[in-house]
Amino acid sequence: MGAILHTVNKSPFEKNSLQTCLRMSLPGSSILLIEDGVYAALAGGDAAAGLAAAMQDRSVAVLGPDLRARGIAEDRIMDGIEIVDYDGFVRLAAASAKVQSWM
Amino acid sequence: MSIEVNGKTYETDEEGYLANLGDWSLEVAEAMAREDGCDLSENHWEVVNFLREYYDEYQIAPAVRVLTKAIGKRLGKDKGNSKYLYELFPYGPAKQACKYAGLPKPTGCV
Amino acid sequence: MTEQQNTGGTVKKFLYINRRAPHGSNYAQEGLEVALIGAAFEQDVAMAYIDDGVFQLKRDQDTSAIGSKNFSATFRALGDYDVRKVYVERESLESRGIGEEDLMPLVYEDEDDDWEEKPLVSVVSAAEMRDIIDQADVILNF
């Protein structure tokens, strides 16, 4: 099977969607944080360690428009996370065999 | 419900407030006032324009008490009091002026 | 904190507890609007922000690219509605990688002090928040 794009749209502080995503995603797959999922990307937050571990073998991206809506500047995001716009979202999805949404 | 101005129809809610903020124009405001039998004077416009600025900044239409206080701060105590504002807008300064300003019903009005 | 006297025509102390992030659901916006309505009716209104609720007060929110209303501007009306108490739990900020400097600098204008702007937000510890909750007469959750 080809690589999956995993999206997470819930805050890691409110639901376990990100945790489950990290547990259920294979090396080589991509993770995209969208909507309230973008809060996980804050450097210094409680979700940072889990994401950093996942970044060893998976790529992690975050949706820029959702960051801006929430007032999170790009320099507050953990190192190694790519910031993408809607076109980038489409490219990631097109490059993946399928998209799994963790909601 | 709707209101017709210069041959164009604009959607409103059941109390006559514009459904879409973007539909507002001077002509729409005047037409709404005419329906209420109210002729918009400079003093009316002062309040209507103030409300539009307030909404632009805070994204809500202020309740009457808040409006009265804010008008008092901006235009002075002789205008920032209920007597003055109710004389201009007998149906309730916040409610009526918000309608002419194309805003939703004030936050804190039933 | 001054204690309201519950005598005769009582003024009840309302505490609105906000625990949701701002844009993923309607809870945050509704909580704010209900609180403002209460304040318009001259209730004694205090706001508490715990858990993801602290994200509601994050400064520099710009929703233009996600096509939703930027209601974070409305928090600046709290002062106009005579809300004087906005509490934010420090522990919730810290576990989310943000701090007091990340919050909107909300103020109210003191009518009795030549409209002097005074800060509205207090960052408090969990222990202090427990007492704030304990002392409220009516608690509403969003």
**CATH number of the domain where residue A17 is located:** 3.40.1260.10
Host domain of residue A77: 4-98
A38 found inside a domain:
yes
Q: Is C96 on the interface with B (CB under 8 A)?
A: no
C132 found inside a domain:
yes
Contact indicator for C22, A38 with CB cutoff of 8 Å: no
- At C140, is the secondary structure helix, strand, or coil? strand
Quickly state the pLDDT bin for B49 (edges 50, 70, 90): very high
Chain A touching partners, 3 or more CB pairs below 8 A: C
Task: Give the integer Cα–Cα distance in Å for A26 and C80.
Answer: 52
Of C52, C66, C97, the CB nearest to A66: C66
C6 found inside a domain:
no
Q: How many folded domains does chain A comprise?
A: 1
Query: Which CATH number is C118's domain given?
Result: 3.40.1260.10
Average pLDDT, chain B: 91
* Contact flag B60-C77 (C-beta cutoff 8 Å): yes
**Percent of chain C at pLDDT exceeding 70:** 94
Of C20, C61, C65, the CB nearest to A71: C61
The DSSP string of A25-60 is PPTT-EEEE-GGGGGGGBTTBTTHHHHHHHTTTSEE
Q: Give the pLDDT confidence of C23-60 residue by residue, as tens digits.
A: 999 999 999 999 999 999 888 999 999 999 999 999 99
A40 found inside a domain:
yes
Look at residue C44 in the predicted model and tell me its pLDDT.
94
C80 found inside a domain:
yes
Chain C residues inside the 8 Å CB shell of A46 = 95-97
The pTM is what?
0.89
Residue labelled with tokens 């980038």: A88
Taking each helix axis as running N to C, give the angle between helix B26-35 and helix B93-100, from 0 to 180 degrees, rounded to the nearest 10: 130
A50 found inside a domain:
yes
Of C36, C73, C76, the CB nearest to B107: C36
A18 found inside a domain:
yes
Host domain of residue C137: 13-141
Domains of chain B with bracketed CATH: 2-100 (1.10.10.370)
Look at residue B30 in the predicted model and tell me its pLDDT.
95
- Residue C104's closest chain A neighbor by CA? A71
A64 found inside a domain:
yes
C7 found inside a domain:
no
A51 found inside a domain:
yes
* Contact flag B108-C71 (C-beta cutoff 8 Å): no
Look at residue C6 in the predicted model and tell me its pLDDT.
44
